[in-house]
Each structure stands twice: as C-alpha cells, then as structure tokens.
Structure 1
C-alpha cells in the first residue's frame, strides 16, 4: 500500500513538472512585463527564469525525468512483488504505467498549463526559483554537455534578456487579435498607424480640380462673395495662372478689412503667407513630422516636375488615422452607401481609398488616386458617352463626362462584397 501511494505521489509530481514546463513556455511575456513593472514579484521572477531558458528547462526536466525514472522503477518493484518476474506481468505493468503517465502526468497537466499559463506562471516561479538554487550545480553540469552538443551542431541559443523584437506585421496581428481587450475604434487607430509609412500625401490630398482657391484676376465683388461663403479658413491665392500659387490666405486676417470695406487685391496679396510645397511621394508619417517642425497646417503637393497636383492639410492626415471628424464643409463622401438596387452614384473626383473603405471594395491603389483617374487609365482614352467597365471585379458605369474627365459614375456592388450579382447597363468594355 505504501508503494502504491508513493507511485501515485510520483505521478502527481511528474504532472506538476510537466505543467510547469508548459506554463513557463506558453506564458505571455508582455503581460508578465506589465505585471512586473507594477511591482509583482512573481512576474519578475518568471521573467528572470525565462531570460535564462537553458537553466529553466534544465531544472524542470531534471526533476521531471528523475520522478519519471523513479516511477518506472517503483512500478517494476510493485509488479515483481505482486506477480513475480513473469514477462507478461512486467510488460503489462509497463503499458499501464505509460498510460497513466500520458494521461495523468503529461497530456492533462500540459493542457491545463496551456490554458492558464498567464495566471500560473507568476505562482510557479517561486518554487522553480528555489529548486534552481538547490540544484544549481547539477543543472550547470548538465548544461555543460548541452552547450558542447549545440556547439558541435553549430547552433547558438539566443538569450532573451530584453523584449523580443517584433516585425510590423507581427505587431499588427497582435493588435487585430486583441479582441475584447481593446475597443474596436482603438484597434482601428493602431492599425492605421502601421500604414502611415506606406501611405503618401498623394493618397490623402485634395486633387487640384477640387481645390477652392482665390483668383486675384477675378472681379473684386466676386472675390468678396467667395470669401463670405467659403467653408475653409485657409485658401490658396493665385493670379491668372492656377499653377502659380502666390500664397495662402487665412480668412481671419481679412475679416477686419472686410468690415472696414477696404478689401482689395493688393490688400489680399499683402495678407497672404508664403506657400509651402511638398513632393507627392512623401509619406504621411514624415509629412506629419514636417508639419510639426515647420509649424504648418497646409501644404501644396507637387510632382517631380513641380506641377501642382493637389493640397493636403493636417486634418487630412489626422482623419486618415481616426476617420472623418470635421463638419466644416459639406462632403458627400460620408453618405456613400449602397442603394437598394445594389449600386451607388459617386463623383468622379472621389478618392479611391475612401471608396474602398466606405463600400468594402478592392479597387487598385497603386496608380491613380481618384475614380476618374482609374477609369481613364483603364480605358486609355476619354469616354465620350455612357459605357460600362469592370475593374477588380467591380462593375462601373460612366454616367457623365465633362471637360475631358468623368464627372459622375455608378458603382455596382460586386458579388464578393456580399450582395447579389448586378449587371451595369450599357456596352461592356
């Protein structure tokens, strides 16, 4: 009876060491660092052990194997005492012991350890630290041979004394899998942060054709009317040639002149600030830093030849991170949604990134930035009438063209977007 009790105790100890091995290997090190920074002693001890993996595994496997060997020896003794040295008895005892070890000392404890690793790691670190101090010489002696074998195999274990380095994709995966630990809006902002280096100002700018600006060659009454009805606080100013911007006008500066009735072209010209130009391929992360360093909120985007492409503001970059938040200008982009017939009518100047985000599409972003540009590039021509095309499995109908550009187009919901297949009317290209 005493021998059976000792055997059960050995199996329990074996299970404890097996569970400890799994717990320490499966524990989330970032959670442990967070708890250790808050002053949790167990978490700190666990991190110390994980920083020296060879010693950690050495002490766990040393005692685990000692217990298993002792259990096997005791099982043989019990079998001989009960049935003698019969081969069938020894074989049966070996099979039964293997079954008990697998079920009660290996699989079950390791499954439990894997499920509760973060909770158990700080607790188990206390006895593990004590055992390592007791058996330090034995662990060190065993690791001498382990190190020699690894050297022969030309393998060099890496000691993780600091935080493990993670790639951008791995960090993104961690954020996306954060689940209920983080609100969806916070996850969205963090994921957008990872894309800042890959998004250029050309992706978020307002195209040149959609820029509201002041032409000093226009009648003064028209200029006053435009200033009075503008939805913006800063406007580019040019004279005769829209490519030649002479400055940026802040409407607050002209308010006093308007009230005094002294507003003139020369006064507007004197109140403008020098324009701030940036190349189109600048990443919005870099541009965000430039805005801060130069104390600017608006920049004019130019291509490699110096031609004006569009305009980007600090708000454009912030909205790329957190979504639309300003209501200072009437904008139909926020109201873009599928109609009951599975289609939506959009302006040709609509940004492709915004369309993909609002409608769940996969229109290509590596070329033109607007729907008009995408259609013209696809056709290699300027459409003169209504026609239908399909780009990235998305049916698109050109509804209206004007001034050598697509003014209005109708997009039909692709089958992949979750709706019934729709067919755009008109000739297919």
Structure 2
C-alpha cells in the first residue's frame, strides 16, 4: 500500500518554524523528560513521519509530540493502526465521539486503580502517568474548542480523582508519586480554569484550593505557576486587582520564570491585564514591552508543558493587551491589538477567537463605528454567543451599548434580528 504524506505535520512544522533537526531536538528533550532515556530522533525520523512511512509512532513518541506541540497525535496527521475489521470501519470521529472517548479513558484509569493485584500489591508506573497525561491533552483541546463548560470542569475533576486513586492502588517510586500529584493538580487547575471561563467564581476558588495543595505535594514548578497564574486571572475577573497582582506575583517569583523566558512572558502578560483593571496605564505599556521582550528571548523548540504550548503565543499576548487597553478606555490601541490577535490565532482556538472578536466589536463601537462594530459582533458563532458565559455577557453588553449609542437605527434593528436567530438555535 502506498504511504500517504502527512501534510498536517508538514503544515504544523511550517507554522511553527521547525526544520527536521529542530523538531527532532525538541522531541528528544521531551522524550528524555518523559522516560529518563535520551531520545534518538533525527532528520531521518522526521522524514519518515512526513512521508507517511511511519503513520502511528509508539506511545512514548506520541506523548513527546503532544508535549512539544500541545496537540493530540491525530491532530498532527498520525493515523492509529486499525485491526482488520469484521464490520465496516466507523466514520471519522466527531466531537461527541471524542467526549465519549474521554469518559471511557476516565473509566479505564479508575478501573486500573481499583483492580487488585494477582500476586501482591499492584505496581504503579509511568505508563499509568502517561495515560493520565494523554487525557490531560484532550481536556486542553476540548477547552480551546468550547471553553467554560461544566462538562469540561466535571471531566477534569473526575480525572484528578482518578490520579489520586492511583496513589492508593499499589506501590510506586517517589518519581511516579510526584507525577501523579502533578497530574491531579493539572486536572484541578483545568477545572478551575473552566469555572473561571464560565464565570462560576465560587467553584473556581474551591478548585484553586485543591489544586494548590496537590501542586505542593508534587513539587512541580510548572503546575504551580499555572495555578497561581490562574488565581491572578480569577481575581482579575472578580474585580480584585490587588489580590490578582499578589497571586500573579507568586507565579512570577517561581524559579521556572528565570529558567524559561516563556513562563516569564506569560506572567508579565497577565500582570499587564491586571494593570488594565487597576487603571494603571503607564505600568500597562511598560509590562507589554517586557512581556514581548521575554517572549522574543524564548527558544522556540524548548520543552514546555502541553498546556503552555497549546495556548501561549503572540496571539495570546495581543489578546491580553486587548483586554487591558479596553479596561483603561484606550479603544484605538485595543483595536490594534485585536487585529494582531485575530491574525495570529491558531485555527483550533475557537473560544479565543470568539472572545477577541467580541472585544473588537466593543472597541469599534466605542469609537463611533456602529456599523463596523455590529458586523464584527455578528461574526461570533452562535454556539459561542449562547453557550460561553464570558462571550454571552460581552455580547449582551455590546447590544446595550449599541442601543444607547444609536437608538432606533437600522443597525440596532439588524443586531436585534441577528440575536433572535441565535436564541432560536440555542
């Protein structure tokens, strides 16, 4: 059978500026962090993947790809091996199938934790950790598509519980136990983020406390950073800039920010958004420049966690600047950052695109461009407009501001009719 070229992997490499050598180096680093053994990938390995000669790498290689790219292996064009079927092959997987797959993954992990050993205590190893990490990558992907949903929050909590159940399921090395605590903390931090994104702040605080305790048990600097950085975002959305700065400072003072400029950049970018809420224009401008400089220093192919690779890039930096400048009422600058963000967003960032588009509509309306603002707001997909709490609120506020700016105008009528179609399809 003729091999089919992996055009998805080629496109991802081109988008991220990877040569065969740079991708191999990044994968070797990730592989060693996962297995404790040096990776042996080279140009030839990459050519085999791109040509389709190797369509489904082994589990450790796939996990290294997920850690480097922030995407599941299938999104990079790899095709699972299929046993000869006795029934017709199923159609291409859709989102509902993916959700069922995730639930089945939770059940598999929980069952593994509960199963008694046949000859003494069960041995828990890195294979169990890798299974959880694979589920974590799926939670991250689901969040970027849908964002803020209670289903994402519940899945993340269930997976955190599964990781903790494994602690009591048998014997394990300290390295494995630390990784299990880190996995549980990561899932709790995803539950926290889903609650923040859905504006369920009480739930987010409860998840935050659980995540912080688990992160301390793990000793994992990256997940500590994620949790405290999320805490800063939580307090920012709650309108508590002093608490937000204090929480974000905990993240920024972790030594991982000195080791990796990309973490330093994210900490600064979120600090910039907090300065916006605090109405500190001078600090806002200065912090954006610092965040950009740190990002420019970061090595493109360095090993980083899946959650960071999946979302933090130039588009997210502009998104946070957009939020900050809207907060201080500098709508022209906010508009600039909105266009920069939308131009740089990766295709799978559906939630982020809906948020940036809604913010752009606000920036345009505040400058008196009612027709352009309305046309922009109408580009937000119906599912995001009706099901994502943050987007829904921004569009409701947009409608109120539009009616106050141009009462009785044809533009208001157009907006009213458009939102009626959203409600009809909700």
Task: Provide the TM-score with structure 1 as the length reference.
Answer: 0.19
TM-score, structure 2 normalization: 0.19
Structure with greater strand share of residues: 1
> Which is helix-richer, 1 or 2?
2
